[in-house]
Amino acid sequence: MRQVFVTGDIEDLNHLARQVFVLRKRASHELVVPGARFYICSLSLKTVVYKGLLTSNQLWEYFKDLGNPAFTTYLALVHTRFSTNTFPSWERAHPLRVLAHNGEINTLRGNVNLMKAREGVMKSELFKDSELKKLYPVVEPNLSDSGSADCVLEFLLHCGQRTLPEAVMTMVPEAWHNDKTMPQEKRDYYQWASCAMEAWDGPALISFTDGRYIGAILDRNGLRPSRFYVTSENVLVMASEVGVYDVEPEKVILKSRLKPGRMLLVDTEEKKIIQDVELKLKIARSRPHSQWLKEQITMEDIHKSVASANGTVALNGSPNGAIVGLSDKRLALFGYTIEAINMLLVPMIQNKKEALGSMGNDAPLACLSQFQPLPYEYFKQLFAQVTNPPIDPFREKIVMSLLCPIGPAANILQPSAQFVHRVFLPQPILSLPDLHALKTTNHRGWKTKVLDCTFPYAEGPLGLEPALTRIANEASAAAQDGYQLIVLSDRAAGKERVPVSSLLALGAVHHHMIETRQRMKVGIIVETAEAREVHHMCVLLGYGADAICPYLAFELAFALRNDHILDPNLTDEDIYVAYQKAMETGLAKVMAKMGISMLQSYRSAQIFEAVGLSEEVIDKCFKGTQSRIGGVNFEILSQDIFDRYALAYGEMRDALVLRNPGNYHWRAGGEKHINDPMSIANLQEAALNNSSSAYDKYKESALESVRACTLRGQLELVKLDEPIPLNEVEPASEIVKRFATGAMSFGSISLEAHTTLAIAMNRIGGKSNTGEGGENADRYLNQDPDYNKRSAIKQVASGRFGVTASYLAHADDLQIKMAQGAKPGEGGELPGYKVTEQIAKTRCSVPGVGLISPPPHHDIYSIEDLAELIYDLKCANPRARISVKLVSEVGVGVVASGVAKGKAEHIVISGHDGGTGASSWTGIKSAGLPWELGIAETHQVLVLNDLRSRVVVQADGQIRTGFDVMVAALLGADEFGFSTAPLIALGCTMMRKCHLNTCPVGIATQDPVLRAKFAGKPEHVVNYLFMLAEEVRQHMAEVGVRKFQDLIGRTDLLKVRENNDNPKARLLNLSLILKNALHMRPGVNIIGGSKSQDFQLEKRLDNQLIEQCAGILDGTQKHIDIKMKITNEDRAFTSTLSYHVAMKYGDLGLPDGTTVNIALTGSAGQSFCAFLSKGITVTLEGDANDYVGKGLCGGKVIIYPPKTSSFESHLNVIVGNVCLYGATSGRAYFRGIASERFCVRNSGCTAVVEGVGDHGCEYMTAGTVLILGLTGRNFAAGMSGGIAYVYDIDGSFKGKCNTEMVELLPLKQNDDLNVVKTLLKEFVDYTGSLIAQDLLKTWPTPAKNFIKVFPFEYQRALKTLALKQPAAPKMETNGKGDNGVQDIEEAVRDIELDKKNLEKILDKTHGFIKYPRETSMYRPAEKRLRDWDEIYNFNHVRRGLRVQAARCMECGVPFCQSGHGCPLGNIIPKWNDLIYRGDWKQALHQLLQTNNFPEFTGRVCPAPCEGACVLGISEPPVTIKNIECAIIDNAFESDWIKPEIPEHRNGKTVAVVGSGPAGLACAHQLNKAGYTVTVFERNDRPGGLLQYGIPTMKLGKDVVARRIKLMEAEGISFKCNIDVGKDISATDLANEYNALVLCMGATWPRDLNLKGRQLNGIHFAMEFLENWQKKQMGPTHHHQNKDNPELSAKDKNVLIIGGGDTGCDCIATSLRQGAKSITTFEILPEPKPTRGQDNPWPQWPRVFRVDYGHEEVKVKFGNDPRKFSTLTKEFLDDGEGNVRGVAAVEVEWTRGAGGRWEMKEVPGTEKVYEAELVLLAMGFLGPEKYVANQLNLAQDARSNFETEKNNIYKTPVTNVFAAGDCRRGQSLVVWAISEGRQAARAVDIYLCGKSSLPGPGGVIYNH
């Protein structure tokens, strides 16, 4: 370190100062060389900066001159900080050259980028251009946020023609936008100044000096503490605490604080303090800012300019024609999905806000997705965590603003009117007319350049990069050519031109223009079809967009309105306004989660991390963005564009509806989800039955999902060739101790689910977590060893629900929840209707009163604050381990190391994919990062800092299997959190309806009816976790590690998965997470928690207290008085005493009559009297810092100024910020002013104070507060309960109160008057308050100046309580899902909307509870058995259809379309919803997307979908099949079904053998794809079993004929009466046609070769049915059907052997033919009426059913025809060769060894059944053999045609395929259709290389 002296022209000191500045800057730019360290600490004529990595005490030792008495100064700015930087550096230490900063600048990247861009338009009168250039870049590289701000401030000071205070005001403006009380000239000034520079936004206390002035400014939201004293000796001391400077009390003449946005300034030359008001007004008046502001441009000006020039123009539609609704090709081109339209876009317009979702995000990361995600999806929003607080954008909207000036920026160095020559947009979303006006305006000579962001299709994917370069160059050129606005437009996209992604184009342009210093000359507007969601807008704004017009979203909404999907009465303007409002809320929320309050500052700030984008993409478009794992390059992004293009304009003949890959909700054939139906079902089966085989299946399906979705899935374990013996591996009982369940609060889940989890975790020695909702004392005080409901982990979240001394004292872990994985940076709310009596009790609140969790902890705005809370909690329970829950994002490792330095003992790193009860989809999908990145970074950084041994690290987020646990451990985790999986084990089906209170399995609901359905047991969770631990052990054996501890951090046991077939995944570079931390810092102790944190509890003042209170604590003493002195080093005073009280006396504090009185003098340290218990009274003469009475629970705190003080208490600050935060009961009396956020989240204490700062009583839910002086702004925001009485001295209160949730009433009622009077008296008694004395003198006269603040919700709740009704009325909502549901994120009630919803008749949200399932779908049996017509009662069914559709809950994981459900993957929830809404046509399209012949399945399908429907768990399932049938029948009736003749034929031919459903579906699909298809059928009519098999009663043959006719009209030729293999050779066919598809069915019937089989009258069922049906059909010209009396049942005793569907058809046919009697034999036992344990949902329920034939027999003959457990022994001869009967015996089924079922005959049950006709209906044994023989085609063990393993429809014979029953074995029509469809796709791929035909679930892949 060197000290240098510079000399120069001392005549002109200003000039010299500038010269010195240039010198310093040049030196900093030019002398910095790699490897050498060079930094000029300060080079100034007036100040000297001393800095070092020193503790305060070391300062004097190190800088000897500071200890020299000769060294004097008239000012000193001292900064000492808790270093949150991992590697603190001398350069970064404060003070910097002009400022010292306590805070965080959240908008840094944008500020720095824009500062750089500004260099292009800067000119100075003081510096020549050449000199100015030497100062660039203004912000030197690699500085901290404070360092960067310091550079800019210093620069403005020297070059900007501004004083230091003005420069500071420019950078850190007050919240002026919404402050109506601010003088107009000051607002004008701020507005003018905002055009010079966007704010440097974030929590900040900035102190600054230039040698003359010294001052400080606080951020706009007051997020840092700042207190000052002025003494009678004319000394001003300002610090973040009181008590840092010792001064006798009588010398203090003022005790005050800095308020939000305010500045404190001392002019040392004039020797005076300049007040904020005076200072700022002076600055505001220093130039004619208000006058200048008149020159600003508004949108109105722009519109006017255009209207006069052009008149009106058509604004809608693309150059390729106006939008045509959902069939518009551009929707597919830009990746719109039906799901996003329905779940995001439509609700935005309907409700003016974003829709909510729940249960987290479990879909693949964009960089793994196979469904062409848009580039936006690769970006994850960053969020504030620990070092800076998020903001509540709803309750603290006074600080939020979306106002943005756009267009050319002026020279910032020359303050002028030019600053405002820009367009001021109130928010960034432009309507179509706005955009048109901006494009065409020439207002004030402005010109707008529209840049085409498309390129010719013909250029192919390689065209993307050159197009980006071209656009960037054109933009730069336009700026140089004097254009003021640039519009980046993808309007020209269409068939000829493909779009460049708007985001890529914008990023490339923005960064290119910054580099070329052109950016500030123009405004950039994005005209985009691509962007439509909140997240899209955020990314665009974050990367530099000034304004956005999402035109396609608007045009689509207009079309939906025209189609009546949206309210037809909406005007275009209404639609725009609704969308824009929703966006506004969404944007504010995203900004707020990063702690940014102004859009102007959010813009360009790049607050994102990219996951899976390559360096080339980042470099070109998103410079400066973190992208840690590399990933997709331009080639892939471009290919995705072309794939989307192909979906839109390619030959997608079967794309009836927009593609829905199931991004949000799982759907068949779409994106994989971690929680897919198969895994859920397997897990439930495993947990329920403790079945390891089911667990193995689960493990497999889960691994498949994990591979498709997550980063860990791209890794695999490095296994030994020979595993070590399993018995040497640590036992599972030890491993499970590392497991914890996630923080799910009672309130978000039911009490039953919550306690079950706790019991389970206690049983295994793991830990359960209370979540943020508290825990009732009876759960932890009375512990039953087997059913212990105590949660070991007790959470302390921002809402502080139920956080009492006793709650804290009874925890093993106390967990501070900083953020939640699914929605980091966001708060939450439990709406009043969910707050039951029990919840209210647990959360220390009132039933029916809503409970809000604020986004930040209001006692944690910085790492120091967190350290304080950690300390407080440790004091409140010295036994507990203090845990901090963080969410993964870039830099979480640094935060974690700060947290470890702050003495946390346990850190949770949550992944982005964790679950949540409710959040907007933007939050769920787009914020936070995978835990793999977070755990790896945390472990590495902690090891590097040698902090790893001090903390235990837990991984959390969608951890489901032993493999997940292994990866997390190997990356560095010690413990593991499980949330979703244990819930699934308890019955959760991932319905994703948690936010609706309608969870059908009783987990995420408080509805008693639904809670009763909860069927989970602790053993289910125990089973699951033990099986998982066993899986871990197996992996451990395989990798050769015996002790779990030895796994931790062993990244060498992980490797990147080989042979990864996902091309995107192959581009990822995971080396960063696979680094072994011990290689970075060898030899460090990495055993988490092995070194304890030193809290220095032995030094606590509480120890003396506890000693003195020994008698109280052991119950031998009743009262004690204690006197002490206190200093600000004594923090959390009394918290440990309260701990001992709680341990001894439980929740209620000291017993009545036992008291502790403590009298103190001095300045108390932070968290004074935190969690103070009942019975303890603390009186302090002096003052106190922040957080007094935090979590007060019963105690009494009294503070008044020293009696010797001369100041007036009501004008001085007595306590700091956030006092009484989360207090639950007790009393507080503060004589003086409390700073910001007094009584936030108070839920029961009574407090009296003489004035409060901003945000008083925020989120309060109960308690009483009396304020005898002024309040700050935003009083009562989010206050749902309790009462505040405010003495409104100057009448200003109303203007400062946030009245969204409260009513302001006069103080008139006697009750109120008495309450206030009593409190005044108490206040006088305790504190001697003069104000209170004055008021009492004339009471009740002064009552007229009091205002009672009374929340609406509280009023309602009190009324309810008074009426003794149980809790608040349940909120009943009607209508579609989210529409009717209170947005629990926002307390702002939408009463109009509620009313509208109540008017609707059908309630879909609760439909499944309210409406019974329709059961009578058939005509009455007695009627129908007399005819051969279809049995269905169509009219009846049709009438109740909407109600039935309303029973469908549109599940998040619709099991109805899963593997257990509909084989076609029919999009059931979608069409159910459409029918509910009455949109039959769209429903038809959805149906036809997956099912070629719903008229068949709708009649004959046994509906496995209904068997798998989630409702079936506890209710009758949704009626699906009827709805399907009605949709298609209605379509035929409405003449909507027309032959669809393909436009092109591809010249290729395919022969299909067999015309059953498989053959028909295959032919249908191939024909659509342009093939010439011929179907060969050996029967006389096409249709297979549809025609001759399934009887007319089930499927009318006219229905079959209608379809065949249509297909013929579409160009398919049917050749009947040709038996392939006999009439023509199959080999010839294969040669003649390009492909041959065998769909020949399973026609080989199973026989029963018993004695007498040869007798007449014994037939296969099919012979009987076919014969009859042919007879019914009448003769064809090919075939003469002869009557065959032997095959008729008339007047015969009929016996049918085989009890399946075929048997039933034989029953019904015989009955109608006139059988004498009918009996059927079923060898299996009679099924039970309900599912057995071995047949869990969603498997097909093997239960007793009565099918149509059985019912008919019962009606006719009085009995059910079925004989179960009956074995045929012999056919009996009548002596003439005819059958006369059958000998049979009953059998018994038992489980033998190995669990297999065994059958035994029951002796003595032999019986003879008479029968003249015996029908064998025992199924089929595969296809007949002759065709196989001819083709040399192998048949498998089950006699089915054998096909290839990886191409299951392709046989090994060239060009021969197989599908349907002949491949799959005897099955169902629906399976046959599914097989036919997919075989067609396989043929298409075989013949054309790829296919545009849909895959499973109707999803089109185009590859």
Ligand X SMILES: Cc1cc2nc3c(=O)[nH]c(=O)nc-3n(C[C@H](O)[C@H](O)[C@H](O)COP(=O)(O)OP(=O)(O)OC[C@H]3O[C@@H](n4cnc5c(N)ncnc54)[C@H](O)[C@@H]3O)c2cc1C
Residues interacting with ligand X, by CB under 6 A? 1500-1502, 1553-1559, 1576-1579, 1584-1585, 1589-1590, 1594, 1619-1621, 1639-1641, 1643, 1662, 1665, 1701-1702, 1705, 1827, 1860-1862, 1867-1870, 1872
Region near ligand SF4 per CB under 6 A, out of 562-570, 1092-1100, 1193-1201, 1466-1474: 1466-1474
Selected from 1256, 1469, 1641, 1698, the binder of ligand SF4 by CB under 6 A is: 1469
How far, rounded to the nearest angstrom, does the alpha carbon of residue 768 sit from its chain's CA centroid? 23
Short-list 1674, 1673, 1718, 1690, CA closest to 1817: 1718
Is residue 988 close enough to count as binding ligand SF4 by CB under 6 A? Answer: no
The smaller minimum CB distance to ligand X, of residues 821 and 1584, is found at 1584
The smaller minimum CB distance to ligand SF4, of residues 146 and 1472, is found at 1472
Is residue 1510 close enough to count as binding ligand SF4 by CB under 6 A? Answer: yes
1449 binds, among ligand X, ligand SF4, none (CB under 5 to 8 A by kind): ligand SF4
Tokens encoding 404: 């943005």
Least distance from ligand X to the Cβ atom of residue 1425, Å = 18
Tokens encoding 95: 């003070």
Is residue 1251 close enough to count as binding ligand SF4 by CB under 6 A? Answer: no
1589 binds, among ligand SF4, ligand X, none (CB under 5 to 8 A by kind): ligand X
Distances (CA, A) of 1659 to 1545, 1681, 1822: 46, 18, 18
The smaller minimum CB distance to ligand X, of residues 703 and 1640, is found at 1640
Region near ligand SF4 per CB under 6 A, out of 190-198, 781-789, 975-983, 1454-1462: 1454-1462
Write down the H helix ranges in 53-95.
56-62
Write down the H helix ranges in 810-879.
837-842, 863-876
Contacts (Cβ under 8 Å, ≥6 apart) of 1341: none
Q: Are 1487 and 1468 in contact (CB under 8 A)?
A: no
Q: 10 Å Cβ neighbour count for 703?
A: 18
The smaller minimum CB distance to ligand X, of residues 817 and 1594, is found at 1594
Planar angle of CA 716, 941, 811, nearest 5 degrees: 90
Kindly report each contact of residues 1007-1016 with a partner whose C-beta sits within 8 Å and lies 24 or more positions away, as own/partner.
1007/1370, 1009/1409, 1010/1409, 1011/750, 1011/751, 1011/752, 1013/1513, 1013/1514, 1014/750, 1014/752, 1014/753, 1014/756, 1014/986, 1014/987, 1015/987, 1015/1514, 1016/752, 1016/753, 1016/756, 1016/985, 1016/986, 1016/987
DSSP annotation of 1401: S
1320 binds, among ligand SF4, ligand X, none (CB under 5 to 8 A by kind): none
Is residue 1593 close enough to count as binding ligand SF4 by CB under 6 A? Answer: no
Is residue 1464 close enough to count as binding ligand SF4 by CB under 6 A? Answer: yes
Q: Are 938 and 896 in contact (CB under 8 A)?
A: yes
Region near ligand SF4 per CB under 6 A, out of 563-571, 1118-1126, 1356-1364, 1495-1503: 1495-1503
Short-list 949, 953, 980, CA closest to 968: 953
1861 binds, among ligand X, ligand SF4, none (CB under 5 to 8 A by kind): ligand X
End-to-end CA distance of the chain: 65
Is residue 1699 close enough to count as binding ligand SF4 by CB under 6 A? Answer: no
The smaller minimum CB distance to ligand X, of residues 206 and 1858, is found at 1858
Is residue 1561 close enough to count as binding ligand SF4 by CB under 6 A? Answer: no
Q: Are 1817 and 1704 in contact (CB under 8 A)?
A: no
What are φ and ψ of residue 1218, in 5° steps? 55, 50
1705 binds, among ligand SF4, ligand X, none (CB under 5 to 8 A by kind): ligand X
Is residue 1524 close enough to count as binding ligand SF4 by CB under 6 A? Answer: yes
Is residue 1586 close enough to count as binding ligand SF4 by CB under 6 A? Answer: no
Least distance from ligand X to the Cβ atom of residue 1618, Å = 6
The SS3 assignment for 265 reads: strand
Burial code (b: 16+ CB inside 10 Å, e: under 16) for 1401-1413 equals ebbbbbbbbebeb
Is residue 882 close enough to count as binding ligand SF4 by CB under 6 A? Answer: no
The smaller minimum CB distance to ligand X, of residues 1368 and 1612, is found at 1612
- What burial class does residue 1481 get, using C-beta atoms within 10 Å of its C-beta: 0-12 exposed, 13-18 middle, 19+ buried? middle
Selected from 468, 839, 1077, 1518, the binder of ligand SF4 by CB under 6 A is: 1518
Least distance from ligand SF4 to the Cβ atom of residue 1701, Å = 13
Is residue 1505 close enough to count as binding ligand SF4 by CB under 6 A? Answer: yes
The smaller minimum CB distance to ligand SF4, of residues 503 and 1508, is found at 1508
Least distance from ligand X to the Cβ atom of residue 1734, Å = 25
Rounded-to-integer distance, Cα 1387 and Cα 585, Å:
13
Q: Is the four-CA dihedral 1310, 1312, 1316, 1318 of positive or negative sign?
A: positive
Binding mask 1410-1449 for ligand SF4 (x = CB under 6 A): --------------------------------------xx
Q: Are 1105 and 749 in contact (CB under 8 A)?
A: no
Q: Which residue type, as a one-letter code, is found at position 150?
A: D
Least distance from ligand X to the Cβ atom of residue 1423, Å = 21
Short-list 1547, 1558, 1565, CA closest to 1583: 1558
1509 binds, among ligand SF4, ligand X, none (CB under 5 to 8 A by kind): ligand SF4
The smaller minimum CB distance to ligand SF4, of residues 1167 and 1457, is found at 1457
Total residues contacting ligand SF4 (rule CB under 6 A)? 26
688 binds, among ligand X, ligand SF4, none (CB under 5 to 8 A by kind): none
Rounded-to-integer distance, Cα 1548 and Cα 1562, Å:
15
Q: Which residue type, as a one-letter code, is found at position 350?
A: Q
Selected from 1509, 1629, 1827, 1833, the binder of ligand SF4 by CB under 6 A is: 1509
The smaller minimum CB distance to ligand X, of residues 1134 and 1709, is found at 1709
Is residue 1454 close enough to count as binding ligand SF4 by CB under 6 A? Answer: yes
Binding mask 1858-1877 for ligand SF4 (x = CB under 6 A): ------------x-------
1585 binds, among ligand SF4, ligand X, none (CB under 5 to 8 A by kind): ligand X
- What burial class does residue 1194 get, using C-beta atoms within 10 Å of its C-beta: 0-12 exposed, 13-18 middle, 19+ buried? buried
What are φ and ψ of residue 1582, in 5° steps? -75, 160
Is residue 1520 close enough to count as binding ligand SF4 by CB under 6 A? Answer: yes
Q: Are 400 and 391 in contact (CB under 8 A)?
A: yes
Q: 10 Å Cβ neighbour count for 1275?
A: 26
Helix (H) or strand (E) holding 856: none
Short-list 744, 748, 752, CA closest to 834: 748
1640 binds, among ligand X, ligand SF4, none (CB under 5 to 8 A by kind): ligand X
735 binds, among ligand SF4, ligand X, none (CB under 5 to 8 A by kind): none
Region near ligand SF4 per CB under 6 A, out of 167-175, 1084-1092, 1463-1471, 1894-1902: 1463-1471
Least distance from ligand X to the Cβ atom of residue 1461, Å = 14
Least distance from ligand X to the Cβ atom of residue 1859, Å = 7
Tokens encoding 1574: 């011929």
The smaller minimum CB distance to ligand SF4, of residues 1259 and 1455, is found at 1455
- What burial class does residue 233 get, using C-beta atoms within 10 Å of its C-beta: 0-12 exposed, 13-18 middle, 19+ buried? exposed
Is residue 1521 close enough to count as binding ligand SF4 by CB under 6 A? Answer: yes
Q: 10 Å Cβ neighbour count for 871?
A: 24
The smaller minimum CB distance to ligand SF4, of residues 504 and 1467, is found at 1467
Q: Is the four-CA dihedral 1019, 1023, 1025, 1026 of positive or negative sign?
A: positive
Chain residues that interact with ligand SF4, rule: CB under 6 A: 1448-1451, 1454-1456, 1462, 1464, 1466, 1468-1469, 1472, 1497, 1501, 1503-1505, 1509-1511, 1518, 1520-1521, 1524, 1870
